[in-house]
Amino acid sequence: MKSTEYIHIPKGSMNHGFSSGEVSTGEFYFTKNYMFLIPFTNGGMTGIEAHHTDFTNAKEFAKHINDELISMNIEEFENKLKQFVGSKFTFKVSELEKMSVQIGWWFFGGMRIKTKENGLMSMNVQPKAVREQVKQFYNL
């Protein structure tokens, strides 16, 4: 897979909605079609367990997917991520009601997405240069 087909953010967090107070931390992968979070922690609890895969935890899966990136095409990559992280941590870009990226410094910068199912969610994506890259990637 070409590096121009995705963005990998090795450390980030997502607030699943201001009313829920649920926050997940982990690795983000963005493709033109999807946004994925491989969660290492979810709401302060230990990350998710793998379902229908050969992996025992999210960190092991993240390491494997990073090692295999070159040998996969974009469809294989997206399917593996969808299978592992499930619908809670998979966001189809074309189905987002809203997506914005603020480039600013400190808390003036960040990402927000809105879905019908989950409402408004915010993502902490650092550093500022990565947010600029994401904004260009999605032509925002």
Mean pLDDT of 28-37: 96
112 phi/psi in degrees, rounded to 5: -140, 140
In the chain, domain spans: 3-137
Using pLDDT thresholds of 50, 70 and 90, give the confidence band for residue 3: confident
Arch. (CATH architecture) of 3-137 = Roll (2.30)
Q: What is the pLDDT of residue 46?
A: 42
Task: Tell me how far CA of residue 22 lies from CA of 16, 33, 41, 43, 47, in angstroms.
Answer: 5, 25, 10, 5, 13
Give mean pLDDT, residues 34-52: 66
- Interval 51-76: pLDDT, tens: 434 456 888 899 999 999 889 999 99
Under 8 Å between Cβ of 123 and 111: yes
Query: Backbone phi, then psi, for 19, in 5-degree steps?
Result: -80, -25
- Show Cβ contacts of residue 85 under 8 Å, excluding neighbours closer than 6 positions: 36, 37, 38, 39, 48
Query: Is a pLDDT exceeding 90 seen at residue 40?
Result: no
pLDDT band at 15 (very low <50, low <70, confident <90, very high): confident
